[in-house]
């Protein structure tokens, strides 16, 4: 099976924009040219890659695998472009929005190293809630934003026209309970927990986990309190007020007195991604560089966490 790598980028544009017309606008070619390239790519692959639906075009499982190859090609081209232009020319200000756990553990510790490597590049971090960050992002007051979502959630944060998303990290959700309250940690029945669940703010990714547990167990998932910061959740759990679902990153470097952190099958994972606007003009080298630094830092953190 030989596929023209140029056609992979067409498939990638369809995946990111959700349709042939939008992809054509993104690539600045005609819709018929996009359709022709897709048909040729499917012929080369020997199977369907795109499925047309009333709401747009979605990729088949085979299409997703091929699109991932397209992403690798795109990244390689960006790296090559950066090397040709030279690191010394990378200058400018890049404002990136994000949430506490990722910025605190993956990004901020690397800032001194990046500042030394790229002295003319300024990376400015903006921390806020998801709705506030997306509002700034749409107003172009942010160049990029790091988003989180439950990887198996039925409803994902949609991509607006022109936005693209690059995966950074997938990490397991953890169950946090008062110390000693669950002794049989290898066989936990989440539908029979004797403590209530702690509530989270409406846009938090772990809210989807609670909804999924409610659906899969058929049990009531009553919540008490409402927290935004993991430190607050840990304090409430330690006080015996309830149990909580928290991401692994949020527990990194945090004192966990009087609580037990448990791995429970079925909790799933949190997906973290780097969201930006697709470029229609020549590449933005500072933003490309920041995207690469974030990917590399996330990959390094993932490797350390898994070792």
The three-state (H, E, C) secondary structure of the chain, written as one string: CCCCHHHHHHHHHHHHHCCHHHHHHHHCCCHHHHHHHHHHHHHHHCCCCEEEECCEEEECHHHHHHHHHHHHHHHHHHHHHHHHHCHHHCCEEEEEEECHHHHHHHHHHHHHHHHHHCCCEEEEEEECCHHHHHHHHHCCCCCEEEEEEECCCCCCCCCCCCEEEEEEEEEEEEEEEECCCCCCCCCCCHHHCCCCEEEECCCCCHHHHHHHHHHHHCCCCCEEEEECCHHHHHHHHHCCCCEEEEEHHHHCCCCCCCEEEECCCCCCEEEEEEEEECCCCCCCHHHHHHHHHHHHHHHHHHHHHHC
Q: Each residue of 199-227: pLDDT tens digit? A: 998 888 888 888 887 777 666 778 899 99
Q: Average pLDDT in the 96-105 region?
A: 96
Q: What is the pLDDT of residue 75?
A: 75
> pLDDT higher for 84 or 186?
84
* pLDDT at residue 242 greater than cutoff 80: yes
Distance CA 213, CA 221 (A): 8
Highest mean pLDDT among 57-71, 210-224, 225-239: 225-239
Q: What is the pLDDT of residue 194?
A: 81
Highest mean pLDDT among 44-53, 85-94, 130-139, 153-162: 130-139
Q: Each residue of 8-28: pLDDT tens digit? A: 888 888 888 878 888 888 788
Q: What is the pLDDT of residue 187?
A: 66
Q: Each residue of 176-193: pLDDT tens digit? A: 999 988 754 456 777 677
* pLDDT at residue 112 greater than cutoff 90: yes
* pLDDT at residue 81 greater than cutoff 70: no
Distance CA 101, CA 103 (A): 6
Q: Average pLDDT in the 258-263 region?
A: 92
Q: Each residue of 131-186: pLDDT tens digit? A: 999 999 999 999 999 999 988 764 456 677 788 889 999 999 999 999 988 754 45
* pLDDT at residue 98 greater than cutoff 90: yes
Q: What is the pLDDT of residue 155?
A: 47
Tokens 């790598």, residue located: 5
Highest mean pLDDT among 39-48, 210-219, 250-259: 250-259
Confidence grade of residue 54 (pLDDT, cut at 50, 70, 90): confident
Distance CA 89, CA 77 (A): 17
Q: Average pLDDT in the 84-99 region?
A: 82
Q: What is the pLDDT of residue 190?
A: 72
């Amino acid at each position: 099976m030989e596929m023209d790598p140029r056609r992979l980028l067409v498939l990638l544009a369809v995946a990111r924009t959700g349709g042939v017309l939008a992809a054509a606008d993104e690539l600045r070619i005609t819709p018929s040219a996009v359709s022709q390239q897709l048909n040729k790519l499917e012929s080369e692959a020997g199977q369907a890659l795109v499925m047309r639906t009333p709401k747009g075009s979605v990729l088949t499982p085979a299409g997703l695998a091929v699109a991932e190859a397209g992403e690798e090609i795109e990244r390689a081209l960006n790296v090559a472009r950066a090397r040709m232009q030279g690191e010394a020319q990378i200058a400018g200000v890049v404002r990136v929005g994000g949430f506490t756990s990722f910025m605190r553990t993956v990004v901020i510790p690397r800032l001194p190293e990046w500042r030394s490597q790229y002295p003319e590049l300024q990376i400015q971090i903006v921390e806020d809630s998801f709705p506030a960050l997306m509002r700034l992002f749409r107003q172009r007051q942010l160049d990029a934003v790091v988003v989180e979502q439950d990887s198996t959630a039925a409803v994902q944060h949609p991509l607006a026209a022109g936005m693209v998303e690059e995966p950074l990290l997938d990490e397991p959700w953890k169950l946090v309970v008062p110390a000693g309250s669950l002794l049989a940690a290898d066989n936990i029945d989440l539908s029979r927990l004797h403590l209530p669940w702690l509530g989270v703010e409406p846009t938090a990714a772990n809210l989807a986990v609670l909804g999924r547990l409610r659906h899969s167990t058929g049990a009531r998932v009553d919540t008490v309190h409402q927290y935004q910061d993991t430190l607050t959740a840990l304090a409430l759990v330690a006080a015996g007020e309830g149990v909580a679902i928290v991401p692994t990153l949020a527990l990194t470097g945090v004192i966990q007195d009087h609580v037990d952190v448990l791995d429970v099958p079925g909790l799933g994972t949190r997906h973290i991604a780097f969201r930006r606007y697709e470029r229609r003009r020549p590449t933005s080298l500072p933003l490309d560089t920041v995207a690469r630094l974030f990917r590399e830092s996330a990959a390094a953190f993932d490797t350390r966490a898994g070792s």
